[in-house]
A and B are shown apart, each in its own frame.
Chain A
Amino acid sequence: MTDKRLAMREEIDAIVNRALKGDQTGYAELYDRFAASLYRLCYSLLLNEQDAEDILQESFLYAFKNLQRFDSRKASLKTWLYTIAISRCRNTYRRKRFITVDITQWLGLELKAPPAEAPEAAAIRRDASESIANALQDLSPRLREAIVLRYGQGMTYREISEVMGCPQKTAESRVRLGHERLRQALQPVGLGLLEELLRVH
């Protein structure tokens, strides 16, 4: 483990200890640190804003109520939180089976174009986001999880295997397969659209 990671882990452990002693600012700090990335994870997996919000809240609620169960020697807090969120996302897949994406809803809220933007540019961006969402949706849930954790969250294969609850080799092959499928899916529309997504934010 690198020094930077080690230092960060120690820092988070200190915040957790503060929270466990009843310091409310400890909870707030943990939320501030992880909420955005956890939301992105949930949203990328479920492709639905409302579901992502629900899972985020449930995950934090569970984590905060069971914070004494967290063992920093076994895993980092990030991995623990992601494991909680992923398991809830899986429950949602099972409940829904067919995930429906309200493109207009999330385009309107998440990919809002700046006011000065030309209509053509907004249309291109909309197409880009739609294509990426469709490509992600076409992946099986396990491959989507692997891709989102690897490229969306920048996790190592070891962390991915911990979060997904599978051997490291399996995580690697899922990333490879997901990568291949996503590339095939995006090839016809052009890989340049990934760049379009970057301009939105």
Chain B
Amino acid sequence: MVRFKYRYCKVHMARYLSGDLADPARRRVARYIDENEDCYREYMRHREFAQKLERSLPAFGRPNSQRLEMMWSTLQAELQAPQSQTLWFSDFGSRSSLQFSYGLAILAIVIALMLPLALGYHASPLSIDFPRAPHYAVVVRPPAQDVSGAPLFATGKPGARVQTPILQSTPAPRF
């Protein structure tokens, strides 16, 4: 039970000290602090350190006013610069430089992969020589003619002849 109280206090101490804890939990932590020595020690330790941090961290990295004024001048100049120019510099030099680098890398990879295709399939060292299927040519003969010279078509009538295309196997061209 003592360990549970201590753990409970430890978990909720930061919010207890900052006043962000809900009423029931706050009362519970307060009771444990009163009842348990370890909880009290934890409370004191936490409070002392939190107070020191709250006082000293705002002083960490405080800029001087001259520096801020200089930055304001630069900022004003950038704000007044033409839109396109400003966007280019701000985007290039800052947040999207990483994206730009990645984009450039991807573009380089794509170009490297596309280059053999652009130079010619057979010159490519990466090309795979698949076995070629035989080429088929479709030869259509002129329609047959009857005795009078009129062409014969498939009309579905008895006696009519149907001309079908003839498939001829031809060897594949050799390069």
Residues of chain A whose beta carbon lies under 8 Å from any beta carbon of chain B: 27-28, 31, 35-36, 39-40, 43-44, 52-54, 56-58, 60-62, 64-65, 87-88, 91, 94-95, 106, 110, 132, 147-148, 150-154, 156-157, 172, 175-176, 179, 182-183, 191, 194-195, 197-198, 200-201
Contacts and interface: CB of A to CB of B under 8 A. Distances in A.
B94 A201 contact: no
A147 B79 contact: no
Contact of A54 (B14, B58, B68, B94): B94
B155 to A, nearest CB: 74
Given A39-B68, A157-B20, A175-B14, A197 B59 contact: yes
A201 B60 CA distance: 9
B14 A195 contact: no
A133 B98 CA distance: 27
B14 A191 contact: no
B157 interface: no
B82 interface: no
Contact of B75 (A31, A153, A200): A31
A58 B79 contact: no
B58 A152 contact: yes
Contacts of B57: 44, 147-148, 151-152
**A-B pairs, 6 with minimum CB distance:** A43-B61, A152-B57, A151-B53, A194-B56, A194-B52, A151-B57
Interface string B43-59: 00110111011111111
A147 B79 CA distance: 33
A44 B53 contact: no
B94 A58 contact: yes
12 contacts: A35-B72, A40-B62, A88-B95, A91-B94, A95-B97, A151-B50, A172-B15, A175-B14, A191-B48, A191-B52, A195-B52, A198-B55
Interface in B1-42: 11, 13-15, 18, 20
B54 A154 contact: yes
Contacts, number: 117
B20 A154 contact: no
Interface residues of B, number: 38
The secondary-structure label for the interface of chain B is helix
B127 interface: no
A57 B71 contact: yes
Given A39-B61, A44-B60, A179-B14, 14 more contacts: A35-B72, A39-B68, A43-B60, A53-B71, A65-B79, A91-B98, A151-B54, A176-B13, A176-B14, A179-B46, A179-B49, A191-B49, A195-B52, A197-B60
A121 B52 CA distance: 20
Contacts of A58: 90, 94-95
B20 to A, nearest CB: 5
Nearest to B60: A44
Nearest to B46: A179
B125 interface: no
A55 to B, nearest CB: 8
